[in-house]
Chains A and B, each alone.
Chain A
């Protein structure tokens, strides 16, 4: 891996027996494709994000968890992106990514370019805010939406 992509691979290590690889966001598409085609990771277990609000520049970690049925191993691929930046979609590699990317967009506001249907999935389409960002409080809600659509002052 390191030979092909050189400096794009930031870090590869193992924590508590679980392998993960941190790559630059510009090559994430190629690396995912290579993982599926060359390494046989045919199952995208999960796609999620983590918000590091205190980190300068690249605030978000996007995490791909891959599994290979043939090798019976799991690997985690991580990439860092800035707030407002977009990642290429993984839907064409694994169709599972469709809803998972929509959930990441819903909860964090990270966009995926080339996604066939990039809209919210769990929250209402016209909801304001992305709840799993760290600045979003646990009791916070879109008061205006709740007022208009539910006709009540608070949903809590």
Chain B
């Protein structure tokens, strides 16, 4: 056995191998291209890695493969027409995008959606957060090498999508809300079905945890990987679960409550170390908190109208506003400038994924190539939103 390897090599490389031995290995720095067609880049992200052996010396992200010019489209559509486009940014959390956009325009025209609509919004947005985290968990675990969670999470997410489909007819790009409220009232038996969904979902989170939380391979691959502390998060503008895992107790639902969140009782889970494992734990805890919010909102769902009085032809006064919400990935903001016409003069979208992705370089420097995959997964980016 001891010489077969050498023999094979000698056959392959010729006599030279024998002379030089293993020193033919090139030990200089290596530039490795990862993506854009790579299964663990969650879309079409290209990362250029500078490596020393397996150690990462630096990275550069090349993005823009999915750029569709959403902001330019926004300037050329009326406020109402633009609403479906925002669903196509973060396409695994379309409801959250729509919620942020509708609220931003409502702030601009100084209209408030009626309470019932606010509650429906909270219910759907929190269900969407669960669905988004499930997609994240499944794909993240798959990247690291655990295939089973993917099937578990996608199976359970299906039940949420069924509720969306029954509510508004679409599963993914829902366009569930309108400026001023909701287009549809809840369907017959909505409350009962959502409650049943909550009861169905709760034990499933335990299943995910059973698969991963104490799994030795999972712990080895995630603990101490891609550490980002609170100060770095703030300096890099990183928000959402990544910030909370670094120990910063900050959530826009609490800090600047919107919709009906001020009436909901929930906690903000935080981590300590800011590593991949903590971010996993924070998101798992968020799943439970989201269920808690959904249950409360369904129990206290008020009666009444679902649409505020909004003019048919929407012409906001001259002015500009910035409004942001806590999307599953972080702070999702809309900066809208109105010149008093039918179309926005400027439609700026502050995507959480775009800003969070910038932290990749800081997080993987000095780590191993395999950790890059784990860190991309833990950042929970959606390229549709990064590139817009």
Q: List residues of chain A with CB under 8 Å of any chain B CB.
A: 15-16, 18, 42-46, 48, 50-51, 63, 65, 69, 72, 74, 76, 94-96, 98-100, 107, 120-124, 131-132, 136, 138
Contacts and interface: CB of A to CB of B under 8 A. Distances in A.
Nearest to A51: B346
B235 A95 contact: yes
Interface stretch (B13-21, B37-45, B287-295, B330-338): B330-338
A135 to B, nearest CB: 12
Interface of B: 63-64, 67, 69, 71-73, 75-76, 107-108, 110, 234-237, 248, 250, 255-256, 319-322, 324, 331, 333, 335, 337, 345-346, 348, 350, 354-355, 358, 387-388
Given A96-B355, A121-B63, A121-B64, A72 B255 contact: yes
Given A96-B237, A98-B358, A131-B69, 10 more contacts: A15-B320, A43-B234, A50-B337, A50-B345, A65-B333, A69-B250, A94-B235, A96-B236, A99-B355, A122-B388
A120 B387 CA distance: 13
A28 to B, nearest CB: 18
Contact of A16 (B63, B75, B319, B333): B319
B248 A132 contact: no
16 contacts: A15-B319, A45-B237, A45-B322, A45-B324, A46-B333, A46-B350, A48-B348, A76-B322, A94-B235, A95-B235, A96-B358, A99-B358, A121-B63, A122-B388, A138-B69, A138-B75
Contact of A96 (B72, B235, B321, B345): B235
Contacts of A46: 322, 333, 335, 348, 350
Given A44-B237, A50-B337, A96-B358, A122 B387 contact: yes
B248 A69 contact: yes
Nearest to B249: A69
A100 B333 CA distance: 14
A51 B348 CA distance: 12
A12 to B, nearest CB: 15
A95 B331 CA distance: 17
Dominant SS at the B interface?
Answer: mixed
Nearest to A138: B76
A46 B319 CA distance: 18
Contacts of B350: 45-46, 48, 65
A18 B321 CA distance: 7
B141 to A, nearest CB: 28
Contacts of B67: 122-123
A76 B345 CA distance: 18
A122 B237 CA distance: 19
A58 B168 CA distance: 46
B92 to A, nearest CB: 21
A137 B371 CA distance: 43
Contacts of B69: 131, 138
Contacts of B333: 45-46, 65
A43 B243 CA distance: 12
A63 B324 CA distance: 16
B38 to A, nearest CB: 19
B74 to A, nearest CB: 10
Contacts of B72: 131-132, 136, 138
Contacts of A131: 69, 72
A122 B355 contact: no
Nearest to A63: B335
B333 to A, nearest CB: 6
Contacts of A72: 255-256
Contacts of A69: 234, 248, 250
A20 to B, nearest CB: 8
Contacts of A42: 234-235
A48 B64 contact: no
A154 B245 CA distance: 45
Contact of B322 (A50, A74, A100): A74
Contacts of A48: 335, 348, 350
A51 B347 CA distance: 11
Nearest to A123: B64
A24 to B, nearest CB: 20
A50 B346 contact: yes
Nearest to A65: B322
Contacts of B319: 15-16
Contacts of B235: 42, 94-96
Contacts of B64: 120-124
Nearest to A46: B350
B127 to A, nearest CB: 27
Contact of B63 (A96, A122, A138): A122
Nearest to A15: B319
A76 B346 CA distance: 16
Contacts of B237: 43-45, 94, 96
B338 to A, nearest CB: 11
